[in-house]
Amino acid sequence: MKKVISIIIIIALTLGVSKLAGDHFRYELYQWAVDFETDQAGLVAKSALINDRQYYYLERKLPTATETVLLLHGFSADKSNWLRFVQALPDHYHVLALDLMGHGEHPIDLTLQYSIENQMAYVQAFVAQKTQGPIHLVGNSMGGAIASLYAATYTDKIQSLLLISPAGVHDIASEMDKLLAENTNPLIANSIEQFYQVVDFVMEDAPFIPGPILKVQAEKAVERFALYQKIFADIRGDMKKNLDSRFSAIQAPTLILWGTKDRVIHPDNIKRYATLIPNASSRLLDGIGHLAMLEVPRVSARAFIELSSQLKDK
């Protein structure tokens, strides 16, 4: 972690990344940083056409790999959210990190329906094409809701389930819920300044990100403003369908991680979420926000390793 940060800082200084030079080279620096951390994780960027639909994903498939884990990011994020998490995983995991519909490298398309169930069907087509046998499934936020519904629907395909601040149970209002009631969405940015506020809102202990790289991320998010509004509306509609009533069908050993400083979904929802899933345990992470796999990637990865390793001991 410190080595990665140091190298980025050195390159930024070499390029003369103060305000003027940093603005000029920010896309080059952004792509270099993403490529560097992707390589550090042993991942390769790939795409595939499955059932006439395009898929974008990262894959690590080493000769020593014996188990497969699929990683599902949250709303307005993408597959790169898992880079540092994957860096902490042993080589025996075949890793797949998928861009969910409407996110990452997907083009902007306002005609599609981005419901949790449609996203789950999208994931299922990918799993059927790109994996063999049961898999470990990890999901954060929106990806957690998709992962939960998937595990409840395809019970024989899941070895273990790790949920990180998952959507799906919202009995206790969060800071975000209160802002939404005031017609303010703290997860969608319509300007670079708003994006910086989004970052502060979703993470309590955010990793260091050089200014030029953060600005590129902001510009990419602002470009998708209308699309993210559409996706969020589709997801909010799902919350009225009582999808959580299906979680009791989940059979895989499940661990739910939740940051105590989560402003997006109130951490006290962990209690009911855990009671809905028969084989679930839960753990609160003190001082962490909504994105534990980014804020404390090694802690999150260790929790997954412990969960999946339990299966070998039985």
Note the pLDDT tens digit of each residue in 111-162: 999 999 999 999 999 999 999 989 999 999 999 999 999 999 999 999 999 9
Q: What is the pTM of this model?
A: 0.92
| Domain ranges for the chain | 45-313
pLDDT > 50? residue 192:
yes
pLDDT at res. 21: 46
Burial classification of residue 299, based on how many CB atoms lie within 10 Å of its CB (0-12 exposed, 13-18 middle, 19 or more buried):
middle
pLDDT > 60? residue 253:
yes
45-313: CATH topology? Rossmann fold (3.40.50)
Mean of the per-residue pLDDT values for the chain? 92
The helices-and-strands tally (H runs, E runs) of the chain is 12, 8
DSSP codes, 2-60: HHHHHHHHHHHHHTTTTHHHHHHHHHHHHHHHHHHHHHHTT-EEEEEEETTEEEEEEEE
CB 54 within 8 A of CB 106: yes
pLDDT at res. 20: 45
pLDDT at res. 311: 67
pLDDT at res. 157: 96
pLDDT at res. 313: 54
pLDDT confidence bin for 217, thresholds 50/70/90:
very high
pLDDT at res. 312: 62
3's torsion region: left (phi>0), alpha (psi -120 to 50) or beta? alpha
pLDDT at res. 239: 81
pLDDT at res. 5: 47
pLDDT, one tens digit per residue, over 10-69 is 444 444 444 544 566 899 999 999 999 999 999 999 999 999 999 999 999 999 999 999
pLDDT at res. 241: 86
CB 289 within 8 A of CB 261: yes
pLDDT at res. 174: 98
pLDDT at res. 310: 81
Average pLDDT over residues 185-192: 98
Rounded CA gap, 7 and 210, in Å? 11
| Chain centroid to CA 292 | 10
pLDDT at res. 18: 43
Six token digits for residue 56: 């974008």
- CB under 8 A, 24+ apart: contacts of 111-117: 113/234, 114/230, 114/231, 114/234, 114/235, 115/234, 115/235, 115/237, 115/238, 116/142, 116/145, 116/146, 116/149, 116/235, 116/238, 116/243, 117/149, 117/238, 117/243
